[in-house]
Amino acid sequence: MSTLDLELLRSFAAVVSHHSFAAAAVHLGRTQSAVTQQMQRLEEQAGHALFAKQGRQKRLTEHGERLLSYAHHLLALNDEALRSLRQGELEGNLRIGAPHDVAETMLPLLLTEVARTSPLLQLDIHIGRSPYLMTSLKSGEVDMIISNRADAQSQFEGVVLRNSPTVWLCAASYVHDPSKPVPLIMADGPSIFRRIGHEALDAAGVAWTPRYTSSSLIGIKAALRAGLGVTARGVEQLDAGLRVLGAGDGMPRLPDLAYYLYVRSHVVNPVTRQVFETLKKHLRLPRTDMPA
């Protein structure tokens, strides 16, 4: 397979941004014929026409539009790598995602370390639910995430940040009646907490009933504080307005939940790679095999 020439891609991007071969040539400090020859060579490498005539102008073909997106990405990656190597300081943008559950606990520790070791980086923070963050990481919408989901397909490279106890939470004023089905407050859609809660209750033969569902942690905690029921959640959510139900209340024990720091496997972005390796080193996080 042939390799795309970055200089040809740079000229290609200039032609598109300056709307003509002549203007791109002035910008690049080349002759118009030289730029024309470059575009011909790039079309040979791509195996498709990149421009089509439209009156006296030229417009991008479908393949040209597709290549332009890749050109911008490849040129940005190249420039970012050179800046990193030449300056010794990481610059650019790093997009970090975290679930609501640990946005106020684990995430600040990570951000503090990134800011300390790479002060020139611009950080974009994405807060969402773990399954959706995994999808965003897979598609490249974010560079790095904290997630409580194990990567069964080994699409990501990850380290365990911590193992967090999962507990049954209710309002401090909530009166639990073991003789009645447990009124559950749970997230709608895919939720690991809902799954492990249901599994634990069913395994222990404890009856339960759905009482309230919410698409967000804020909604779940509002229902908890209102005394509407009980939820399975990480111990990080415990505060003065909530309490934990345990074996003495007839509630089964819940498993601990691992939180991972993930990047895509074989990630080539030098900023993401270096930050990930730095975090593993400075936070002393052991590498882990992802469970199936």
Q: What is the mean pLDDT of the chain?
A: 87
Task: With CA atoms as reference, report the closest residue to 143 among 258, 275, 259, 260.
Answer: 275
Degrees (nearest 5) of the Cα angle 26, 28, 32? Answer: 55
Split at pLDDT 50, 70, 90, the class of 90 is low
The fraction of the chain above a pLDDT of 70, given in percent, is 93
Helix (H) or strand (E) holding 124: strand 121-128
pLDDT tens track for 184-227: 999 988 889 999 999 999 999 999 999 999 988 999 999 999 99
Asked whether the predicted pLDDT for residue 291 surpasses 60, the reply is no
Four-point Cα dihedral 71, 76, 77, 79, nearest 10 = 120
Q: Which residue has the higher pLDDT, 34 or 153?
A: 34
Structural domains of the chain in order of their starting residue, each with its CATH number: 6-87 (1.10.10.10), 93-164+258-282 (3.40.190.10), 166-255 (3.40.190.10)
SS3 category, 261: strand
Split at pLDDT 50, 70, 90, the class of 85 is low
The reported pLDDT for the residue numbered 83 is 64
Degrees (nearest 5) of the Cα angle 98, 102, 104? Answer: 105
Q: Which residue has the higher pLDDT, 253 or 58?
A: 253
Asked whether the predicted pLDDT for residue 89 surpasses 80, the reply is no
DSSP code of residue 64: H
The reported pLDDT for the residue numbered 266 is 78
